[in-house]
A and B are shown apart, each in its own frame.
Chain A
Amino acid sequence: GAGVSQSPRYKVAKRGQDVALRCDPISGHVSLFWYQQALGQGPEFLTYFQNEAQLDKSGLPSDRFFAERPEGSVSTLKIQRTQQEDSAVYLCASSLARAGVSNQPQHFGDGTRLSIL
């Protein structure tokens, strides 16, 4: 399909382990976003890439969270030394638009549901 693809769909980890979540955006999309969605809440912004440049990481909750998009396509969100409060659905979205262009929608993947035991 031509949509945003995220893997794995579900991830269970023990507290203290490191995890890596993958996002394949729609081909040709310049912008890529990561959001965190806690149970019963709306998604909250984590970080934003324009091509390979990470232009905004203001939403990352701690320095245990790290994201990269080295070739301007696939992105990985890494969480080190996971804690129980990291349990959430992590959503990736991509858009044709660059920052400052708001008329292009963000297309979301199905998310990765992360559970920390």
Chain B
Amino acid sequence: GDSVTQMEGPVTLSEEAFLTINCTYTATGYPSLFWYVQYPGEGLQLLLKATKADDKGSNKGFEATYRKETTSFHLEKGSVQVSDSAVYFCALLTGANSKLTFGKGITLSVRP
């Protein structure tokens, strides 16, 4: 079945540090890939998405590239801010059933 694997957390960084959060997936067919973010006390929000191989999703300084050859969708940001502290979830969606399959999530804490 479909699955998403995220790197173990939590991750703690200093402000302005470079961020990489790894995500790999297993899926039948050709999934769309997503990063969702959950800020403290809030619901899940879509951060970015990519719907086909080699697409790059970007939003709020975050980027992720759909790599079919390595089945990966790693999240990167060049300079994190304290306000980026949140839980980040990688997810995939296959068209056949439309359900999202999520990774476990990783907590990012950014200190001033």
Contacts and interface: CB of A to CB of B under 8 A. Distances in A.
Interface of A: 4, 31, 33, 35, 40-45, 48, 56, 59, 91, 93, 95, 97-103, 105-111
A27 B43 CA distance: 18
Contacts of A95: 98
B99 A59 contact: yes
Contact of A103 (B32, B91, B101, B105): B32
Contact of A110 (B4, B43, B105): B43
Nearest 9 pairs between A and B by C-beta? A42-B102, A110-B43, A108-B44, A45-B99, A102-B32, A99-B98, A102-B95, A105-B46, A100-B95
Q: How big is the B interface, by class?
A: 20 to 34
A43 B97 contact: no
Contacts, number: 71
A99 B51 contact: no
Contact of B99 (A40, A56, A110): A56
Contacts of A44: 102
